[in-house]
Structure 1
């Protein structure tokens, strides 16, 4: 598949502006992330970008280049603006196309996959006579990823981890629409993590993350205890393929980070730590309900407080209650319920929901809904009998192949279909929640010291 990837605007054309952000920069950042995810994870994919730096390029130059190259798909990345009053995500195909066209079918898929991860309100699938949609000879889609002049949207847009999620949503849509073939994983199950520095000071680790971001390299902080000493590691990617990890290592070193290295880590038969990608569903809960609820309310101040149920039932069933809570936030858009499941269903994990005509299971109380969620995870993660302490309230418990997914990433393609990166998205959200909680604790400790 040949993808022409077009970050809108650039150079003298800044695009929309607002809240200290320039659209041209956001578009480029998301597009670069899309290209990286595609090339690192899929076979037989070629990507040509209209620009990879901040430069001016006319619309006709972009479409002519895509047409002459013989692209299979044209994807234009944008953000929106409207007096600060509008918000949400929308996408466009050309106004002349019928809903039965291939382009419209691709739009259906792309819209669904992007909306799964972007935590924005849904403004719908639209049609317009935009140049890049009209003058291209292949199917084309233009995505508007939030309103840069809206305060709430801009808070998301300015977050690198959100832009990574949005890029992943675009990639998930492309993979599904064009039936892309994933690169084979290491048969040993080894995970190769690129560590771009290891520090005893969190401030130093945060400086490293900020520097890497300025170089276009996404990273985050994990913790590891060595000989009783806590270290803050800056992780710039985790890969099941050694070649991809080495490629990222070269990028990090080219950015001037000479102390970068690769660590290997098996997903099974090891003690998981909070920062490990793919770690087990069974295990201890690290975060308190107070910290979990507090994090969610930074995004949705009206969120109900259900974290205590995840701690209680997580401990009872031996499930990582804090990661299950992160899964619930992913499924419910931080308890805003912007999908087909409604708040009164108390269905926090999308049990049985398949579309607008089937919003899934309903439960009498929030507590019962959380119990059903934990029981469904238990069905995947364990072959043991259910504890006798609670009735079975999960209506789909017996439909699960017991023990078929012992790690969060093993839920890919099971809990969410096709969901190639479903587990990774849950863990990315959990990492953000963990980092936020660590910052809160550090702030409390500093107040105590003062």
Structure 2
């Protein structure tokens, strides 16, 4: 199949504008993502873009090029606009000539349905029009209008890389179904060792262990500079304290081997994998009795981790700006779940995107519900980061579930709860935290969406570290792992 993919506008023609966005930029991003998915994952398809950069190109140039190339299908990607800021949603068009039973109409129906499954937009329906690219293209053609740039709801989605990816995937799913595209076959990996010999086993990628924490911190900084997330975990071996640099924990050895290769390619030749049976249903908590470490090169004086020496809360502002004048709460094992949110939504989002540029921007939800329930929103997002591997969803829970805290995911492939929107998923996490932290009735500002709220032993975990054995079972170091991530967020703010 030959697909002519046309990102609308470009160059001196910005297309629609609104909410700080230009149509020409968004259409190009979506089209490039569609091309990438199709060429990487499907057989026997060639994709030609009308433009691959911000250049001007007339409508006639586009259709003439598609016709001369002999394309089998013409797909034009656009973003809508209206005088009324209330107008919102998705719609698509075919040429006004063909009947409702034509092949063009059939393709439209299939693609429309697939896009609507994933884009989170209001459905404005399937339409017909006398647009140039639909009329002058000699093959069947479709023009999609992916939301209104003049609507604050739709525009907020357009600013999210994850949403652009979903929209692209929806178009791909429609094309694959309409044209019976076949996925490329890949040989199944043949592991040299058992993939997961014992239920609950985690395969952890270790980028060396050090006697001095400052050297472990330097290794973490080096890996972060290479785009590889990692953190320092303190472990006791034969009565001695070691600072282990962990660059990921995976439920299968195959995935761990992929990360190990990335770490070694970055220059850490002595990296290795350890298998530890210390993960239960939720989170990537670390613990257990590790084997003797492979040791990095130490020098200088030992610098222990910086921690507060008491469990008191330090007043903090609500995080509405990027220059907080009050100090962050002391990161101690007794840090309470209830408390103020210190980091701003922008600081939360920026931290996550350092490790996963495609992560959804959820900081505003964590601030909003943190204020509503009196819960530390920035520590709560650290919990979500831990649960989802920086919103990559490498465990049982999938991104489409909007379940950022593993609610109901009890291991052995049980995926847990699903929520209709990202906002609802974050709300459920806060309600679940509230159930653990308090015996009081849930505030009535929002409806109860946590399906397991009434299964919680109310008030049994007022601090983050007391979530061990409750939220995650056995969950050794689950709460401390959350606090370690929160400390990294504070340090990077």
State TM-score, norm by structure 1: 0.53
Please report how far the alpha carbon of residue 203 of structure 1 lies from its aligned counterpart in structure 2 after TM superposition.
11
Alignment partners' CA distance in 2, 1:439 and 1:16: 44
Which residue does the alignment assign to 1:229? 245
**1:276-309, CA deviations, whole angstroms, 9 ceiling, x for partnerless residues?**
xxxxxx843459x999xx959839989x999999
Say yes or no: does 1:51 pair with 2:146: no
Which residue does the alignment assign to 1:133? 134
Alignment partners' CA distance in 1, 2:404 and 2:108: 38
Structure 1 residues 273, 149: CA separation in 2 closer, same or farther (over 3 Å shift)? farther
Which residue does the alignment assign to 2:38? 38
Structure 1 residues 5, 299: CA separation in 2 closer, same or farther (over 3 Å shift)? farther
Which residue does the alignment assign to 2:176? 175
Please report how far the alpha carbon of residue 158 of structure 1 lies from its aligned counterpart in structure 2 after TM superposition.
1.2
Contact 1:224–1:273 (CA<8 Å) still a contact in 2? no
Structure 1 residues 90, 308: CA separation in 2 closer, same or farther (over 3 Å shift)? closer
Contact 2:42–2:181 (CA<8 Å) still a contact in 1? yes
Q: SS of the counterpart of 2:63?
A: helix
Mapping 1:129-208, distance limit 5 Å: 129-188=130-189, 200-201=220-221
Contact 1:285–1:320 (CA<8 Å) still a contact in 2? no
Unaligned runs of 5+ in 1: 192-197, 210-220, 250-257, 275-281, 338-364, 372-436
Higher helix share: 1
**1:310-343, CA deviations, whole angstroms, 9 ceiling, x for partnerless residues?**
866434xx3678x634xx23xx244789xxxxxx
Q: SS of the counterpart of 1:56?
A: coil
State TM-score, norm by structure 2: 0.49
Say yes or no: does 1:101 pair with 2:102: yes
Structure 1 residues 189, 55: CA separation in 2 closer, same or farther (over 3 Å shift)? farther
Contact 1:6–1:77 (CA<8 Å) still a contact in 2? yes
Please report how far the alpha carbon of residue 445 of structure 1 lies from its aligned counterpart in structure 2 after TM superposition.
4.4
Alignment partners' CA distance in 2, 1:177 and 1:183: 17
Alignment partners' CA distance in 1, 2:284 and 2:61: 53
Alignment partners' CA distance in 1, 2:405 and 2:92: 36
Structure 1 residues 72, 224: CA separation in 2 closer, same or farther (over 3 Å shift)? farther
Contact 2:220–2:231 (CA<8 Å) still a contact in 1? no
Superposed CA RMSD: 5.1
Which residue does the alignment assign to 2:486? 441
Contact 2:224–2:230 (CA<8 Å) still a contact in 1? no
**1:67-114, CA deviations, whole angstroms, 9 ceiling, x for partnerless residues?**
111111101011111133222111111122222111111111111111
**1:361-385, CA deviations, whole angstroms, 9 ceiling, x for partnerless residues?**
xxxx9677999xxxxxxxxxxxxxx
- Give the length in aligned residue pairs: 297
Which residue does the alignment assign to 1:411? none
Max radius of gyration: which structure? Answer: 2
Q: SS of the counterpart of 1:314?
A: coil
Contact 2:406–2:416 (CA<8 Å) still a contact in 1? no
